[in-house]
Amino acid sequence: MRGPVSFAFALLALLSPQLACAQMQPHHAVYNLRLGAAVNAPRIGTAVQDLTQDCAGWHLKRDITTEIALTSAWKISVASKLDAEEGMGGNALRYRTVQIQNGVERQTSGKVQRTGKEMRAEIVSPTGPIQLTLPAPTLLPVASINHLVERLTAKAASFPALAFDAEVVGDAFLIDVTELNDGDIRPPPPSEHPVTLPKLKAWPVFMTFTRGRQQDQKPLFSVKAVVFANGVLDRLTVDTGLVQVQADLQELKMGTAPVCPRS
């Protein structure tokens, strides 16, 4: 469950005011997580994301904590933290993840670099270092959100994208995106306090996530969400086939983009 939720929140992030260029806007967002599809599904944790920007690029910090009580005496506690830096051109990424399950910690670090038409990743995990050559069209996290908003703004009803994932597979995901009707997205839980969102264009979407190197297999999970033109997502439903997790905005503070000299 930790993996799909983490990657879903990797799709929540960033932008600058020039929405015509479909760029992300810095923000701080807090989400409540609930287990199951019911309107009154029990709360199991929170996801906090901070996205800031300077003239060199984007800085993303994400902290997800969950606790699921399977019985009165048996609980599963999971935490996932990401600290990442992505260059403004979407050609370089450095990151570090810390994932803890019932007290057992796992740390991973990596860097991804695009050189010409080639993109390579170097990843160090508890199992040892690995090097990967990624498909040339692979997008980094911020660039993938920009691409999502650009395609929706262009009225693309459905489209694929390849995006690098640092938290679930440490490789590329194939994401198939389809725009939905407004009635296909669940309403927010009645017990939640509504969050004031920017008055921007928004799209309901359905996304499936398949390993980029195994595109002939079934998707690992799917996500329904509302995507705003500034890159913020709300009313997510993550479905792994075994469980569903709901994520709803509880706090949103928009940041500002820096004024940088022209190159």
* Tokens found for residue 129: 């270092």
- Residue 192 host element (H or E): none
DSSP state, residue 149:
H
Higher-scoring residue by pLDDT: 189, 34? 34
Average of per-residue pLDDT across 147-175: 94
Longest dimension (CA), the chain: 60
CA distance 83 to 85: 7
pLDDT reading at 3 higher than 60: no
178-202 residue pLDDT tens: 999 999 999 888 877 778 877 889 9
Domain spans of the chain, in order of start: 2-254
150: part of which helix (H) or strand (E)?
Answer: helix 141-153
59-117: pLDDT as tens digits:
999 999 999 887 777 888 999 999 999 998 899 999 999 999 999 999 999 999 998 88
- The length of the chain in residues reads 263
- Nearest residue to 238 (alpha-carbon basis) of 120, 54, 66, 74: 66
Query: What pLDDT digit, counting tens, does each position of 118-147 carry?
Result: 899 999 999 999 999 999 999 999 899 889
Helix or strand run (H / E) with residue 139: none
Residue 89's nearest CA partner among 26, 19, 151, 142 is 142
The pLDDT of residue 195: 84
Q: What is the rounded distance in angstroms from the CA atom of residue 79 to the CA atom of residue 240? A: 18
pLDDT of residue 2: 47
For the cut 60, the answer to whether the pLDDT of residue 18 exceeds it is no
Its pTM stands at: 0.86
- Give the pLDDT score at 19: 31
Which one-letter amino acid corresponds to residue 242? L
Q: Are 237 and 246 within 8 A, CB to CB?
A: yes
